Structure 1
Amino acid sequence: MTPEALSPAGWEGSRASDRRPDPTDGRYTLATPTDEGMAALVDSAPGHVDTVRRVVFDSLTKAQVRQLRDIARRVNQATGDNTPC
C-alpha cells in the first residue's frame, strides 16, 4: 500500500502502519499494516463489501458482470496471477 493511499484514510502518521524505504528502489516508501492496522481492515471489510456490491455490481447487468469477470481473468493471466475470479 502506498503512503498516498494511506493518507486519505487517516492512516499516515498513525500506529496503523509502518513506513520504510523500498529496499529495491529508494524513490519509493513501503507501508505495511501493523497488527492494529490489520484489525481495522478486518473490521471494515463487511461494510466495504456491501458498498462495492451496491455501487458496482448492483448497477451492472448480468452480462456486464460476466464481461467484468472475463476482463479480470485476462488481467490476472497477464500478470501471472492464477487466483480465480
Structure 2
Amino acid sequence: MLSDIDLLAAIGMPGAQQRGWSFSRLIDPELRIWELRPGNHRIAYAAIAGDLVLLHAWRKQTQKLDARALRRAQRNYWRAVDRIGQ
C-alpha cells in the first residue's frame, strides 16, 4: 500500500490520470476526492492547497463504494480545508 502512495506522491494526480492508471479513481467530482485502491483496502485522498491529503482509509468488503466511508472522507476533507486555511 505504501508503494502506491509513494508512486502517487511522486507523479501527482494529473500524472496518474494521464496514464489512465486504475489504482485510483474519482469518487466525489464536486470536492475532487479520489480513491486509491491497493488490494482490498481503499484510501480516500484529495489535493488541498497543493498537498495530497489522506482523508480516510477502510477495508473494501463489497463491490459498491461504502457510503459511510465517502461521508467520512467528505467530512475529513472540510476539516482539512479548515485546518489548512484554503
TM-score by length of 1: 0.33
Report which of the two has the higher share of helix: 1
TM-score by length of 2: 0.33
